[in-house]
């Protein structure tokens, strides 16, 4: 298994913001210590050609303007480059998976709230939608997206809705940010769970979503791997434990579909152990 990371992804942001550099600064040395057999690779910076299937050209220019997008999603110097690097990591993970090696893109910022022409929810470019659309352009017939982040992947939904070569499934807290994802339609499967849902009930919904994606018979599965449904996450109200994320990884190992995962949310100080649990399940280590 390959981990995609670049230390440049830790060189922006604020320790006062939930989506802070410490998420990676703590996780990377932890994984290097406890899982020394993992391979590591640096991402590339995605260019306009790879971004334009998911985003408008005028929006890419907007990312360079030094103006905050909203209170949750501030402008940072060179944020467009950091977001392009995260998108490049998703593309590299996708390509690695298609070549037979599962890959986890361990970068920031996250992406699944970003719409075609709107940054929001800590997200600037929608890395997973970019990877999915580029995979289709490169010969994939069907791509599935499994989003188990605690928040609805509204940006991904907005970008892929109506594309019958993509099936998107999101399991998320509702009521909760961003207030969407209440029903399924077309090529979108939404499975909302109420705050404080029992962890086993929640995990069963996550498995239901995966089963529906597998039935789609995709050539590629992309995972929006958010760890903010963890019971001790500071900004959500769900009850998953580390063992549940380990179980999610085992399910991926069992389905025998080329798979790449992209880090989304997860704001607990215990994030390194949660990612470790997921990777151990997925890799079989």
Per-residue pLDDT at 230: 98
Span 119-165, pLDDT tens digits: 999 999 999 999 999 999 999 999 999 999 999 999 999 999 999 99
pLDDT at 285 over 90: no
pLDDT above 90 (res 85): yes
pLDDT digits (tens, 9 = 90+) for 208-228: 999 999 999 999 999 999 999
Q: What is the pLDDT of residue 276?
A: 98
> Which range of residues forms the domain containing residue 125?
2-283
For residue 162, what pLDDT is reported? 98
* Other Cβ atoms closer than 10 A to 93: 31
99-113 average pLDDT score:
98
Say how many domains are in the chain: 1
User: For residue 243, what pLDDT is reported?
Assistant: 98
CATH number where 203 lies: 3.40.800.20
Residues noted as catalytic:
113
| Cis peptide bond upstream of 105, omega within 30 | no
Instruction: Report how far residue 150's alpha carbon sits from residue 173's, in angstroms, rounded to the nearest whole number.
Output: 6
The DSSP letter of residue 143 is: E
Percent of the chain exceeding pLDDT 70 equals 100
Confirm if 109 and 75 have CB atoms less than 8 A apart: no
Expressed in percent and rounded to 5, the helix, strand and coil fractions of the chain are 40, 15, 45
């Amino acid at each position: 298994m390959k981990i995609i990371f670049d230390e440049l992804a830790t060189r922006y942001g604020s320790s006062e913001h939930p989506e802070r550099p410490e998420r990676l600064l703590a996780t990377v040395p932890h994984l290097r210590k406890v899982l020394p057999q993992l391979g590591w690779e640096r991402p590339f910076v995605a260019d306009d050609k790879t971004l334009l299937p998911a985003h408008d050209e005028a929006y890419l220019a907007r990312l360079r303007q030094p103006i905050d997008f909203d209170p949750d999603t501030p402008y940072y110097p060179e944020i467009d480059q950091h977001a392009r690097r995260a998108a490049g990591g998703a593309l590299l993970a996708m390509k690695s998976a298609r070549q037979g090696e599962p890959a986890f893109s361990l970068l920031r910022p996250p992406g699944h709230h970003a719409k075609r022409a709107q940054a929001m929810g800590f997200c600037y470019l929608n890395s997973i939608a970019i990877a999915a659309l580029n995979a289709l352009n490169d010969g994939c017939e069907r791509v599935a997206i499994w989003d188990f982040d605690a928040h609805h992947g509204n940006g991904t939904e907005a970008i892929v809705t109506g594309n019958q070569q993509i099936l998107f499934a999101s399991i998320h807290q509702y009521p909760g940010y961003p207030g969407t994802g209440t029903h399924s339609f077309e090529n979108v499967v939404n499975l909302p769970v109420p705050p404080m849902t029992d962890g086993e009930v929640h995990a069963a919904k996550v498995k239901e979503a995966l089963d529906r994606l597998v039935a789609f018979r995709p050539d590629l599965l992309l995972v929006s791997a958010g760890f903010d449904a963890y019971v001790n996450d500071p900004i959500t109200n769900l009850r998953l434990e580390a063992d549940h994320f380990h179980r999610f990884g085992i399910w991926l190992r069992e389905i025998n579909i080329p798979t790449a995962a992209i880090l989304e949310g997860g704001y607990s100080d215990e994030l390194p152990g949660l990612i470790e649990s997921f990777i151990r399940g997925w890799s079989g280590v």
